[in-house]
Structures are given as C-alpha cells and as structure tokens.
Amino acid sequence: MHSPIFVAIDTTDLDRAKAIATRVKPHVGGIKLGLEFFCANGPAGVQTMAHLGLPVFLDLKLHDIPNTVAKAIQALHLLEPAILTVHASGGQAMLEDAKAAAPTGTKVVAVTMLTSLDGDDLRATGVTGDPHEQVLRLTELARASGVDGIVCSGKEVAAAHAAWKEGFFVVPGVRPENVHSGDQKRVVTPRAALDSGASILVIGRPITQADDPDGAARAIEATL
C-alpha cells in the first residue's frame, strides 16, 4: 500500500527540494509543492519535481472570482497535478468552475479553515460559530459543488468524513508526539488523523527540518 504521507516541500531552493524528495521517496506517497516553491520556481520547477516519479500535490490555494480561478487552472493543465487546492470560501460557483477546469485526473480539494487558525482567529474575521461548525459548513458547500474533497485539521476530519462518506480528506497540521507545532494551532498526531478518516496526511517541517529527513519520515511511517 502507498504511504498516506505527502511531504510538504516548502523551500524556494530547487536543488534542496529535489534532494529532500529523493531522500524521503521510499517513505512517502507523494510530494506537496506550495506557494513558496511555485513563486520561486514556477511551472518548470514543478515539472522538474514531477520527474522524480512521485505524485505531485500542487497546493496553490486558489481564491478569486470564478473566471480567474478557472483560467488559472487551465493554465496549469500541462502539469496534471494529482491534487490541486482552492479555498472553499471562494463560494459554490468558483468551486464548480474550478472542478470543471481541472484535468480529469486531478483531484480538486477545497481548503475549509486553515490549520493555523483557531476559534479566536475565526471570530476576528467576523465568522460566527466554532472551527468545527465552520469546517462542516464548508464541507457541505464543497460536496454540493462537485469537488473531490476538502482540507481540514485532524480535529474535524471524523465529523467531515461522517457527513461526506465518499469525500477525499487532506489533513495538514500533523505533528508526531513531542514535535513543536510552530504556527499550527489545530494539531493532531499522524496516527490520530488517519484513525479519524484522513485520506492523506500533509507533513512538512517535522520531516524537512529534521537533521535526518529520511529517518524522520521512516519513524512517522512506522506509527501508521
């Protein structure tokens, strides 16, 4: 069985990205490239990483008017990422158009509430209700819009999965026991996230910032 771990390679340095991916390849199911990598290396950098032979999750978290998001996704067609993110709060029309614009083999997943936010952050943006309610509200919007799944924290994934049995659930904000959570506020362990219904786990710094990334990925894999 493929590992459910997608390693988040957050760096501007293409050589470093290649080196990390090559080292951890035996222990992960894919690589996640986000804004930091994409702004520095562009589509050509993504293609270079794809040649390493692991599925690519392109985490651009697109959020704009429907036409702009659809055109941006069409411009990414050649990359054929395995997974692509948009923000659920872009609304139903944007989500529908994002899915329609994506290559057939690409899963479009909608970010519900960033794992770096908590209830206080939510209230500060004027949203009533707690993270649990917010994630479930946006999960229902994503499901009704025809995208493939959502991004949420491991704290809400069980409830989201219960509400959407066939959905694809991406869980970042994952930390092994005793590993610093950094800027992440809604954190669970890799094992807990999987037990709660995560389809894949996104893990970055606990692997990429470790003295031995290969060993760190192997140790996490052994807990799953």
- Which positions are catalytic? 59, 61, 64
Is residue 155 part of an annotated ligand binding site? no
The yes or no reply on residue 184 touching ligand LLZGTKA7 (CB under 6 A) is yes
Q: Binding string to ligand LLZGTKA7 for residues 85 to 104, with x set by CB under 6 A, is what?
A: --------------------
Whole-number Å distance between alpha carbons of 138 and 24: 33
Closer CB to ligand LLZGTKA7, residue 42 or residue 100? 42
Does position 139 bind ligand LLZGTKA7 by CB under 6 A?
A: no
Q: Does 205 bind ligand LLZGTKA7 (CB under 6 A)?
A: yes
Contact flag: residue 167 with ligand LLZGTKA7 (CB under 6 A): no
Number of residues that bind ligand LLZGTKA7 (CB under 6 A): 15
Beta carbon nearer to ligand LLZGTKA7, 71 or 109: 109
- Nearest residue to the partner ligand LLZGTKA7, using Cβ: 204
3-state secondary structure the chain: CCCCEEEECCCCCHHHHHHHHHHHHHHCCEEEEEHHHHHHHHHHHHHHHHCCCCCEEEEEEECCCHHHHHHHHHHCHHHCCCEEEEEHHHCHHHHHHHHHHCCCCCEEEEECCCCCCCHHHHHHCCCCCCHHHHHHHHHHHHHHHCCCEEECCCCCHHHHHHHCCCCEEEECCECCCCCCCCCCCCCECHHHHHHCCCCEEEECHHHHCCCCHHHHHHHHHHCC
Residues 52-81 binding ligand LLZGTKA7 (CB under 6 A) are 59
Question: What residues are designated binding site?
Answer: 10, 32, 115, 175, 184, 204-205
- Chain residues in the site for ligand LLZGTKA7 (CB under 6 A): 8, 10, 34, 59, 111, 114-115, 151, 172-173, 184, 202-205
